[in-house]
């Protein structure tokens, strides 16, 4: 049974998609079969693994709203052993359309359960909000990985996210755990980065991954080529650190609970 990990933080631009794409690719490189699920109407994870959104007439929207089998929208990517369930702009309507539907919070879980055992890991890229799409992702997940950008106010908004995690644990998914907190976009030339690392470690202690993602030009460029860093520039520091993160995630164990 595959382990399902949501990559979530309602703050925009903290590295959720970069982490979803590159952690997925690094996990496949380490010998795993991985499914990347895009639940963000921006569809950045979809294009980040080289899928042309214009070619897609069906996406995660049809699964969530029209009960289409997840298998039907699961497509291979150009990376061996990496599959994706894409999102297109069509998904933008889902947040509102889900509201009056039955079991609106568990629709993604129900869709993924039948295909879970085909994969070692299922990585869900969440949108920058705590709405029903993120709730669906957390309800479907074994764990949540929280990227935190190394900048001023890094911890701002995290209590809201942790509150949502607690609510989901209480009402929808008792076994949801925190996979870890990932520090992203560290600019090693500034003291600020070091201060933020200390602050986040003080708050989350051993939940913080050893791997810290640096601000790396190659990581920023890779999405415009529709490639993860492991194929775009496998020798870059960005690729090395995402491989280190994948090792830590694998060491955390397969499925918990």
- The contact set with ligand ATP (CB under 6 A) reads 12-18, 40, 42, 44, 128, 184-185, 213, 215-216, 219-220, 223
Structure tokens at 165: 């995690």
Q: Which of 136, 139, 155, 137 lies closest to 147, judged by CA?
A: 155
Shortest approach of ligand ATP to residue 19 CB, angstroms?
A: 7
In the block, which residue shows the tokens 């998609």? 17
Q: Is 11 in the site for Mg ion (CB under 5 A)?
A: no
Q: Give 167's contacts (C-beta < 8 A, 6+ positions apart).
A: none
Q: Is 139 in the site for Mg ion (CB under 5 A)?
A: no
Shortest approach of Mg ion to residue 102 CB, angstroms?
A: 29
Cα 98 to Cα 95, 106, 107: the distances in Å are: 6, 11, 9
Shortest approach of ligand ATP to residue 135 CB, angstroms?
A: 16
33-52 residues in contact with Mg ion (CB under 5 A) are: 44
219 binds, among Mg ion, ligand ATP, none (CB under 5 to 8 A by kind): ligand ATP
Shortest approach of ligand ATP to residue 137 CB, angstroms?
A: 13
Q: Is 16 in the site for Mg ion (CB under 5 A)?
A: yes
Q: Which of 58, 48, 149 lies closest to 36, judged by CA?
A: 48
Overall residue count recorded for the chain in this entry: 257
Q: What single-letter DSSP state applies at residue 211?
A: -
Structure tokens at 82: 């990496």
216 binds, among ligand ATP, Mg ion, none (CB under 5 to 8 A by kind): ligand ATP
H or E stretch at 85: strand 82-85
Alpha-carbon distance of 53 to 73, in angstroms, equals: 12
Could you tell me which stretch among 17-25, 67-75, 172-180, 189-197 binds Mg ion (CB under 5 A)?
17-25
Alpha-carbon distance of 248 to 246, in angstroms, equals: 5
223 binds, among Mg ion, ligand ATP, none (CB under 5 to 8 A by kind): ligand ATP
- Select 16 or 107, whichever has its Cβ closest to ligand ATP: 16
Q: Residue count at the site for Mg ion (CB under 5 A)?
A: 3
Q: Is 17 in the site for Mg ion (CB under 5 A)?
A: yes
Beta bridge partners of 15: none
24 binds, among Mg ion, ligand ATP, none (CB under 5 to 8 A by kind): none
Q: Is 9 in the site for Mg ion (CB under 5 A)?
A: no
Give the CA radius of gyration of the chain.
Answer: 17
69-108 residues in contact with Mg ion (CB under 5 A) are: none
Structure tokens at 3: 């382990």
Shortest approach of ligand ATP to residue 87 CB, angstroms?
A: 11
H helices then E strands: how many in the chain?
12, 7
- Select 84 or 116, whichever has its Cβ closest to ligand ATP: 84
Q: What is the DSSP string of 76-117?
A: E-SSTTEEEE---GGGGGHHHHTTTSTTTTSHHHHHHGGGGG
Could you tell me which stretch among 10-18, 171-179, 198-206, 213-221 binds Mg ion (CB under 5 A)?
10-18
- Select 13 or 76, whichever has its Cβ closest to Mg ion: 13
């Amino acid at each position: 049974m595959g382990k399902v990990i949501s990559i979530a933080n309602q703050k925009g631009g903290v590295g959720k998609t970069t982490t979803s794409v590159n952690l997925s690719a690094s996990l496949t490189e380490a010998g795993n079969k991985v499914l990347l699920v895009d639940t963000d109407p921006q569809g950045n994870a979809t294009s980040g693994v080289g899928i042309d959104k214009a070619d897609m007439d069906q996406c995660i929207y049809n699964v969530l709203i029209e009960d289409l089998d997840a298998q039907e929208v699961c497509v291979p990517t150009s990376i061996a052993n990496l599959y994706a369930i894409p999102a297109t702009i069509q998904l933008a309507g889902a947040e509102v359309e889900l509201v009056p539907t039955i079991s609106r919070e568990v629709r993604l879980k129900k869709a993924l359960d039948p295909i879970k055992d085909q994969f070692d890991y299922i990585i869900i890229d969440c949108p920058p909000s705590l709405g029903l799409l993120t709730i669906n992702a957390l309800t479907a997940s074994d764990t949540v990985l929280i990227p935190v950008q190394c900048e001023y106010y890094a911890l701002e908004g995290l209590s809201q996210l942790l509150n949502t995690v607690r609510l989901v644990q209480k009402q929808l998914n008792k076994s949801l755990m925190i996979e870890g907190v990932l520090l992203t976009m560290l600019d090693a030339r500034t003291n600020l980065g070091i201060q933020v690392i200390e602050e986040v470690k003080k708050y989350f202690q051993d939940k913080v991954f050893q791997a810290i993602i640096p601000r790396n030009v190659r990581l920023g460029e890779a999405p415009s080529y529709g490639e993860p860093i492991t194929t775009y520039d496998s020798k870059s520091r960005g690729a090395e650190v995402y491989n280190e993160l994948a090792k830590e995630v694998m060491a955390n164990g397969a499925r918990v609970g």
